[in-house]
Amino acid sequence: MARWAGWGAGPSGAGSVGGPTRTFLVLALLGCAVVTLVLVHEGRLPGAGVALVATVYFAFRLFFGLGKSEG
């Protein structure tokens, strides 16, 4: 299994070793979705909006390959 280099920039940074695993993306998606629901329930709509954007981002990464290189 390849190691992930992290979020840093440059040739040794994010994506140089393959990016985050599907497990990480699933956990991030679920975590963001839970935070979104909790914030909506508490009536904290600006924070819920930010969490919703993060949820959508991780969904796109997981299901539509956002951020994957073609080559």
Residue 12 included in any domain = no
Residue 5 included in any domain = no
Residue 38 included in any domain = yes
Residue 22, number of CB atoms within 10 A of its CB: 9
Residue 35 included in any domain = yes
pLDDT score at 44: 96
Distance (Å, whole) CA 67 – CA 57: 10
Domain range enclosing 27: 22-64
pLDDT score at 10: 56
What pTM value is reported for the model?
0.71
Residue 68, SS3 per DSSP: coil
pLDDT tens for residues 10-65? 555 555 566 788 999 999 999 999 999 999 999 999 999 999 999 999 999 999 87
Residue 11 included in any domain = no
Domain total for the chain?
1
Residue 10 included in any domain = no
Residue 71 included in any domain = no
Residue 32, number of CB atoms within 10 A of its CB: 20
Residue 1 included in any domain = no
